[in-house]
Structure 1
Amino acid sequence: PVLLILDEAWLFLKNPIFSAKIVDWLKTLRKKHVFCVFATQEIDDAANSPIASTLVSQCMSKIFLADPDISPIAKEAYKKFGLEDAEIKLISESQMKKDYYYKSPSGTRLFQLDLDALQLALLTTDHAVCDAIEEIHGRNSREELALEILDKKQIDYTHVYQGR
């Protein structure tokens, strides 16, 4: 399986050539075990894009972040993605950077990611750290770099090795 991640997806959705490619990917890549992830800060960007109907019909699993300031326009965008008023209210009352709302044909669930500093250091992008590591190891290195990333971010990981 392959995970295709389009972060800041609003940029891709505004480009007619790239958005046409996204439609093609959504309709064909699943057969090749490719999972597409679209991340955008505002739901309106996806809901109002020219390919919104394809996004709604082909992206069966959706994760929504907490949004305490849901505008009437955003509320309509959430509805385009199949959310009911109660679900939108739940998202508006959720805690930023902690609560996430999952919706799929299998069901829905509000869940929390309460990550510690070590986990965040490994999961978040820090361009300065990435550039420094790339300079040493080259791009797309196959070396295990987790400990080096933690060292560069000055995260203490010694407790992970205690008792081994």
Structure 2
Amino acid sequence: IGLNEVQIGILKTAAKKRDYYYLSPEGRRLFSLALGPVALAFVGVSDKESVVQVRELAASHGADWPFQWLQKKGVRYDHLL
């Protein structure tokens, strides 16, 4: 994909599914996307079945659907309130 030896070396030391290497004409950077369980419950899910479940929760619980979703996913969020 056009990476040089230094960039390949950086990627070899990166943590899988957490560290990402961004390369653009403006520059390049290794960054960490270490998301916690609450964030992952939302951004880490995109399959069709989950989307349907979210829509159903939103329809039945209104603005409180995120709390229902976190409960369904087994994610504790009470310490965030």
The SS at the match of 2:70 is helix
1:134 aligns with 2:59: no
3-state DSSP of counterpart to 1:103 = strand
- What is the alpha-carbon distance in structure 1 between the residues aligned to residue 46 and residue 56 of structure 2? 14
The corresponding residue for 1:146 is: 66
Tell me which amino acid in the other structure corresponds to 2:12.
S
For structure 2, the residue ranges without an aligned partner over 5 or more in a row are none
Indicate if the aligned counterparts of 1:129 and 1:153 stay in contact, CA closer than 8 A: no
2: CA distance, partners of 1:93 / 1:130:
34
Q: 1:151 to 1:130 in 2, by over 3 A?
A: farther
TM-score if structure 1 supplies the norm length?
0.40
Listed one character per residue, the Cα deviations across residues 19-48 of structure 1 (whole Å, up to 9, x for unaligned) are: xxxxxxxxxxxxxxxxxxxxxxxxxxxxxx
Q: Number of residue pairs matched?
A: 77
TM-score of the superposed pair, with normalisation by structure 2: 0.73
Cα displacement string for residues 81-123 of structure 1 (whole angstroms, at most 9, x for unaligned residues):
xx22211221123110111101112211111112111111121
In the superposition, relative to structure 1, how do residues 126 and 150 fare at CA in structure 2: closer, same or farther (>3 Å)? farther
Extract structure 1 runs of 4+ deviating beyond 3 A: 126-129
| RCO higher in structure (CA 8 A, sep ≥6) | 2
In 1, Cα distance between equivalents of 2:40 and 2:52: 18
Runs of 5+ unmatched residues, structure 1: 1-77
Deviation at 1:129, TM superposition (A): 3.7
* 1:126 CA displacement: 5.8
